[in-house]
Chains A and B, each alone.
Chain A
Amino acid sequence: MTVLGGIGFASPWLLVALLALPVLWLILRAVPPAPIRRLFPAVTLLLGLRDEESVSDRTPWWLLLIRMLAVAAVIVGLAGPVLNPQRNVDGKGPLLILLDAGWAGASGWTQRMDLLDAQLTEAGRAGRPVAVMRLTAPEPPVFQSADIWRSRVPGIVPQPWQPGPDQIAAALGDIAEVATGFDTHWLSDGLEYEGRDRVLSAVSDRGTLTVFMSSAAVLGLRPASYVDGAVQLTVLRAAAGEERTQAVVALGPDPSGTVRVLERAEARLEAGETEAQLSLSLPTELRARISRFELEGQRSAGAVALTDDGLSRREVALFAGRQDREGLELLSPLHYLTQVLVPSADFVDGALLDVLPANPDVVVLSDVATLAPAERDALTEWVENGGLLLRFSGPRMAASDIGRDEADPLLPVRLRSGGRTVGGAMSWGEAKTLAPFAEGSPFFGLDIPAEVTVSTQVVAQPDPDLADRVIAALSDGTPLVTRKPLGLGQVVLFHVTADAEWSSLPLSGLFVEMLDRLAVSSGAKRPDAAALEGTIWNPLRVMDGFGELEDAGNQAGVEGGALVSAVLGPDLRPGIYGNEKRRIARNVLAPDTVLAPVAWPASVSVVGLEVEREQPLGGWLLSLALLLLAADIVASLALSGRLGQLRGALSAVLAVFLLSQDASAQATSEAERFALEATHELALAHVLTGNRSVDDVARAGLLGLSQTLLYRTSVEPAGPIGIDLERDELAFFPMLYWPVTPDQPAPSEEAYARLNTYLRLGGMILFDTRDADVARFGAGSPNGRKLQQLAAPLDIPPLEPVPRDHVLTRAFYLLQDFPGRHAGPDVWVEAAPMDAEQIEGMPFRNLNDGVTPVVIGGNDWAAAWAVDGQGRSLLPVGRGLAGERQRELAHRFGVNLVMHVLTGNYKSDQVHVPALLDRLGQ
C-alpha cells in the first residue's frame, strides 16, 4: 500500500488518469449543448437575422466543474484510498499478548479490546501465530492463528482482582513451558502488583516486549465506614496528577424497590494528592437503604464499595420486669445492654403491643416472667415472622412457674423452679466459669476471659432436646445460654440476669461479642478476622470485573477469617457474603489499600492505547461521484429548459410515495367519514347480500320506511345505509335489516364477533327470508336453510312466535299480524321468560326487558315498503284495496318495529294500560 499525504492507496497507479482531466475539460468545453426547440409565433420577425458570432454558447464553467469533480472522484475512488492506513510493525514469529485483565483495566476495557483486535488483525495479516494470556486467569499459552483468537475477543473479560501470587506463579510456569522464542505485547492495567517484575523478566528473555498502557490514572474507592454519624468515603487514584473532581454516587432501592441514585457527592482530588476524603451525612433511613457506592463514570470493580450491615442500624426494643426504681441507673437491668447497643442500634420505646407493629429487629425481655395472653400471642407471631427474642432471666423468672411443667413457646427450654446459687456467701462451691464454646455454637471461636464467673442462674430441665439448644454452658455443663428456633425467628435465653447481680458476664467484653454474634448488635465497625474466626460465610452476590453484581451460583462458602484478610482470587471473589443473620461485604479495595502506579524499566517501550482505525474512502468517493452526476443531470436539464418534464416525473414518483404512505391515513378517514354519515342522523341499515336486486329492494324498502316514519312519527331518519359486515362498524345503527338469499357468503369470524357484540349491546337484526308466499317458517326453503347457517354462530336467545301481548303489537300502532309483501303468519321474536305470568285483570303480561335481539320472518317487508325516488311504491302488494291495506299494515309493522327498537319495552309499561284498554274497547 502506498501512502500519500496520510492516505494510503491500494492501486496508486490509477491516479495517473487524473492527468487526463484537463484534456477532458477542453473537449467538453468545445462541444456545444444541444439546441432547444421552441414554438414562437413571432418567428416571422426573426427571419433573416444572422448570428454575429458563429460560436454557440458554451457549457457553463460550473457545469464543467461538476463533471470534472465527478470524474476525479471516480478515479480517486477506484484507486482504493484508505484513511489511517496501518503501517506494518516489524516482527516475525510467535506473538504473546499478555493482558493484566484485572479490575483496574475494566474502565477502559472496550479500548483495550479494540487494541487487542487491532493487534490480532495485524498479526493475522503478517501470518504470525498468536497466544493471548490473562495474568488474572492464566492458561497455558497456545499459539494459533490470529483469526481464532479474534473470534474469542468478546469472551475476554476482566476479573475483579489483581494478579495474585498464585496466578503469577501459574503464569510463570506456563511461560517457561513455551519452547520457542516469542515477542510480547503486554496490555497493562497501569497498577503495580506483586510479581510483575518476575513476569517482566520472564517475557523479556524470550523476545522483544512492548507495553501498551492507558495514560489515564486508575481510580478506586475504599469501603465506606461509618464514623461520627457520617459515612466516610475515600477516593484513591494511582498517580498523583492535576486537580480533578470525581463524583461518587450512592445507589440503593427506593421505597418501591427500584435501584436508583440515592445520593451524589463530588470528591475533590487535589493536585499532587492521591486520596480524597468524602463525608456523607445521611438520614438513618436513607443510609440503611444504600447498597453500594460507586465512582460515577468508572466501570470497574475497584470503583465500587459494597455496603453490608455495617451501615444499617438495628432496631431494638428493651423491656425489663422492674424499671421504676428511680435513681438506681447503674442497677437498672438494662444498663449494660444499653451500653452495648448504643453505638450500633436504635432503641424503640413504648409498650410491647405498640412496639411490635413497628417490627423491631430484636426484642429484649429482661427478667420478664409472665406476659399477658395478647402480648404473648403478638410476640409469638412476631418471632415466627423472623424476630429475635432475647430473654434474660432474673429473680422473677426464677420465682415464676413459667415453663415449669410444659414447654413455653417463648422459652427455649423448660426451667426448674427456683434456680440455683453457686459460689455465694451461703453456698458451698465456687462461682462457675464458662466452658469453651462448642463447635456449632454461634459463639465458637470467641475467647473466654477468665474473670467471667456465674454465681446464680436458672436451670434448665434435662429434656431430650436440651443438648441441641445449648449454645453456651458453664464449666460444669449446665446450660448458660440456650436457643431454639421458632418459625422464622428464634428465642434465646440467657440463664443469668442482664445486670451484674448474678454473673460478671455483662461486665466483660465477651458479652459484647456474644451479642454481636447473635446479631443483636451488628458492628458499626468492620468485624476483624479474629471476630469471624471459625464462621463460614456463603457468597450471596459476587462482583465481576466491571463492578456488576451477579448471582453467586454454587460457589463454596468462605471461612470468616479469610473473608476479611485473604487475597482476592478465583476462590474469594468480591461481593456480598452472608449467613442467616448477617451480611458482610468483601470489597476489592481494603480500608488500607493504596493504589501504586506501575513503573516500567526504561528499556521497555510503552505505547498508548489509542487505535486509529483504518477507514476505506473508496465507497464514499464513488457515492460522491454518483451524487455529482445526478446534480449534473438536473443542472443540464435546467439549462436546456427541460426541467419541467423532469418535474412531472419527479412529482409522479413523489405521488407514488405519498400515496403509499397515505393509504392507512385514508383508511382511517374512510372509517371516520362512514361514522359521521351514520351518526349525524339516525339511519336505518340493511346488510348487503351481494345480490344486486335484493340489495336495491332492501334499500328502497328502508327508504320507504324512513319516509313513513318521517311523516307519521317523531323519528326522522336519514337515508338508509348499506352495511358491509366485514368492514363497517355496526354500533351506530339501532337495527339491521338482513334479507336472506341462498347464495350470500357467510360472514367471517371477526364479522360474527362484531355481530354478537352488536346483539349483546342492544342491537336488533330483522331477518327476512322473503319466501312466506311459498314456504312456512322453518328449514323447508333454501332461504330458511341459509338463515339457519347464517344465524348458527350468532348469540341468539330462545325464540317463539310473536305472542299476542308482545310489545311489538302495540309499540305505535295496535297490530295483530305483521304482513309484508306476503302475509305469512310466522314472525319469531325472543321467547318470553318462563315465569311471565298474566296478572289478573291485565290484558298482557309483563314480558322481558329490553329489545328482542332478532325478529325473524319471511314476509318480504322491504318489498312492501319499497318506494322509488318520487315516493311511489315500487312493487305491487296483493290486489286492489286489500293489497293497499296490506301495504299499510306492512308500514305500520315497520313503524312498530322501529319504535320498539328505539323505545324498548316502554309501551309494555303498565302505566299505559288504561289508555290501551280504552283503545282496545274493553
Chain B
Amino acid sequence: MSAPRVLRQRAEAQAETLPPLLARAEHLAGTVLLGDHGRRRAGLGDDFWQYRPAQAGDSRRMIDHRRSARGDVQYVREREWEIAQSVMLWVDQGASMRFASDKGYEIKADRARLIGLSVAILLVRAGERVGLTGTTLPPRRGNGQIHRLAEAWSRDAAADYAPPEHRAMIPHSRALFISDFLGDMQEVELALTKAADRGVKGVVLQVLDPSEESFPYRGRTIFESVGGSIRHETLKAGELRNRYLERLAERRDMLAALCRATGWQMGLHHTGESAQVALLWLWRALDGGTR
C-alpha cells in the first residue's frame, strides 16, 4: 500500500473518532447554555456590547428574538468583555486513563476528553481563548480551535502515567487539569506550584473509575497497570481494601492541600456518574474566576 493511501486511511480512522466526540461535547455544552439563559434578567445593560447579524455556525438559541422580531434579519446579542481570558487545558492522555472496570462504565480517558472539550466549547462561545498547556496548541479563539483540541486529544500517550504539562503557561491565565492523579505526585506538585508562581489560577478535576473508589476485589490476584509496567501480587485482595482506601484518601488530601496552597479548586468525578454534573461544576468553578 502506498504511503499516501495509508496516511489517508489513518486520517479517516482518526477523523471518525472526532465527530462523535464533538457532537457529544456540543450536546453536553448545550445543556449548560440552557441553564445560563435565564441569568440575563439581571444586570443586562452592563454587559451589552452589540447586536450583530447571525452568521452560519451560530446556534439558534443564540439568536436574540426580541431584536430579530423587529426586522427580517436575525441578530445575535454579544456581550462586552473587558479582557479576553486565556484558558489552558491539560487532559491526561496516559495509559492509566484508558481503563473501565465494567462495560457499563465509560473509559476514564473518554470521559475526561468529553468534559474537557465541552468546557472548551463553552469557553469559545463565551469568547475566551482556549488552548493546551505546553507548546503544541497555544490559546486561540474560534470554532476551529475546538477541532484542533479534539484532534490533539485523539492521540493516546504510551506512558503509563503521564505527568502534567506545565510548560509555556501564560501568566495570569486560567488552567484546567483533568486526570486521575494516580501517578507521581511530585510532578503534580511541581506543575501546580509553577502555575501558582506565574499567577495562573485554575481547577483540578480528578476522574476515577468506581472500582478504584471501592476496590471490590477478593482472592489471589495480580494487579497490573494498564501499560503493564507495574504489577503487584497479593494472596488475599480482600485484606488490602482498607489500606488501599486509606492511601487513596491520603492522596486526595495531599492534592487538596496542594490546591489550597496554590489557590486552585479541586473537583472529583466518577465515570459512573453523569458527565453533566462534572461539567456544571467545572463551568461554575471557571465562570466564577473569569467574571
Contact = CB atoms under 8 A, between A and B. Distances in A.
Contact of B243 (A44, A49, A55): A49
B182 A44 contact: yes
B244 A44 contact: no
Given A32-B220, A41-B182, A42-B212, A57 B225 contact: no
Interface string A26-45: 00000011111111111111
A35 B180 contact: no
A35 B230 contact: no
A639 interface: yes
In this complex, the member of A40, A43, A52 whose beta carbon has the largest number of chain B beta carbons within 10 angstroms is: A40
B183 to A, nearest CB: 7
Contact of A36 (B108, B220, B226): B220
B220 A33 contact: yes
Contact of A44 (B161, B217, B219, B221): B161
A536 to B, nearest CB: 94
Given A33-B220, A35-B222, A44 B235 contact: no
A21 B119 CA distance: 66
Interface string B230-257: 1111111011100110011001000000
A32 B219 CA distance: 10
Given A41-B212, A49-B232, 11 more contacts: A37-B224, A41-B225, A41-B226, A42-B180, A43-B230, A46-B223, A51-B236, A51-B239, A53-B239, A54-B235, A56-B220
A569 to B, nearest CB: 85
B99 interface: yes
A46 B220 contact: no
A47 interface: yes
Contacts of B161: 44
29 contacts: A32-B220, A35-B222, A38-B222, A38-B224, A39-B99, A39-B224, A40-B99, A41-B182, A41-B212, A41-B226, A42-B180, A42-B248, A43-B230, A43-B231, A43-B232, A44-B161, A44-B225, A45-B251, A46-B223, A46-B232, A46-B240, A46-B244, A46-B247, A47-B230, A49-B232, A49-B240, A49-B244, A56-B219, A639-B219
Contacts of B244: 42, 45-46, 49
A53 B236 contact: yes
A51 B235 contact: yes
A453 B186 CA distance: 150
In this complex, the member of A37, A43, A49 whose beta carbon has the largest number of chain B beta carbons within 10 angstroms is: A43
B96 interface: yes
A57 B239 CA distance: 10
Interface in B125-144: none
A35 B240 CA distance: 15
Contacts of B238: 57
Taking residues whose C-beta sits less than 8 angstroms from the other chain, chain A's interface range is 20 to 34
In this complex, the member of B220, B240, B244, B251 whose beta carbon has the largest number of chain A beta carbons within 10 angstroms is: B220
Contact of B226 (A39, A49, A56, A640): A39
A42 B246 CA distance: 13
In this complex, the member of A33, A34, A56, A57 whose beta carbon has the largest number of chain B beta carbons within 10 angstroms is: A57
A13 to B, nearest CB: 40
A327 to B, nearest CB: 112
B247 A45 contact: yes
Interface of B: 96-97, 99, 108, 161, 180, 182-183, 209, 211-212, 217-226, 230-236, 238-240, 243-244, 247-248, 251
A-B pairs with lowest CB-CB distance, top 3: A41-B96, A56-B235, A35-B220
A56 B99 contact: no
Nearest to B246: A45
Given A43-B231, A44-B161, A45-B248, A34 B217 contact: no
A57 B235 contact: yes
Nearest to A41: B96
A33 B221 CA distance: 10
Nearest to A44: B182
Contacts of A44: 161, 182-183, 225, 230
Contacts of B220: 32-36, 56-57
Contact of B180 (A41, A52, A54): A41
A384 to B, nearest CB: 93
B218 to A, nearest CB: 7
A38 B211 CA distance: 12
Nearest to B239: A52
Interface of A: 32-47, 49, 51-57, 639-640
A843 B174 CA distance: 96
Given A42-B212, A45-B247, A49-B243, A56 B236 contact: yes
Contacts of B97: 41
Contacts of B180: 41-42
A34 B233 CA distance: 12
B221 A38 contact: yes
A53 B240 CA distance: 11
A60 to B, nearest CB: 10
Contacts of A36: 219-222
A757 B219 CA distance: 73
A43 B234 contact: no
Given A39-B99, A56-B220, A45 B182 contact: yes
B217 A38 contact: yes
B27 to A, nearest CB: 28
B223 A49 contact: no
Nearest to B160: A41
A55 B224 contact: no
A788 to B, nearest CB: 54
A55 B235 contact: yes
B219 A38 contact: no
A34 B108 CA distance: 29
Nearest to A37: B222
A57 B99 CA distance: 27
A644 to B, nearest CB: 9
Contacts of A47: 230, 232
In this complex, the member of A41, A53, A56 whose beta carbon has the largest number of chain B beta carbons within 10 angstroms is: A41
Nearest to A40: B223
A45 B225 CA distance: 11
B223 to A, nearest CB: 4
Contacts of A54: 235
B7 to A, nearest CB: 32
A647 to B, nearest CB: 12
Nearest to B248: A45
Nearest to A639: B219
B265 to A, nearest CB: 23
Nearest to B184: A44
Contact of B234 (A33, A41, A51, A640): A51
A32 B235 contact: yes
Contacts of A43: 223-225, 230-232
Nearest to B240: A49
B223 A53 contact: no
A38 B216 CA distance: 12
A41 B210 CA distance: 12
Contacts of A639: 219
A367 B168 CA distance: 146
Contacts of B234: 46, 49, 51
In this complex, the member of B212, B219, B225, B234 whose beta carbon has the largest number of chain A beta carbons within 10 angstroms is: B219
A49 B235 CA distance: 12
A29 to B, nearest CB: 15
A35 to B, nearest CB: 4
Contact of A57 (B219, B223, B247): B219
A56 B248 CA distance: 25
A44 B232 CA distance: 9
Contacts of A45: 182, 244, 247-248, 251
Contacts of A32: 220, 235
A645 to B, nearest CB: 13
A38 B218 CA distance: 11
A431 to B, nearest CB: 121
Contacts of A46: 223, 232, 234, 240, 244, 247
A548 to B, nearest CB: 69
B243 A42 contact: no
Nearest to B108: A41
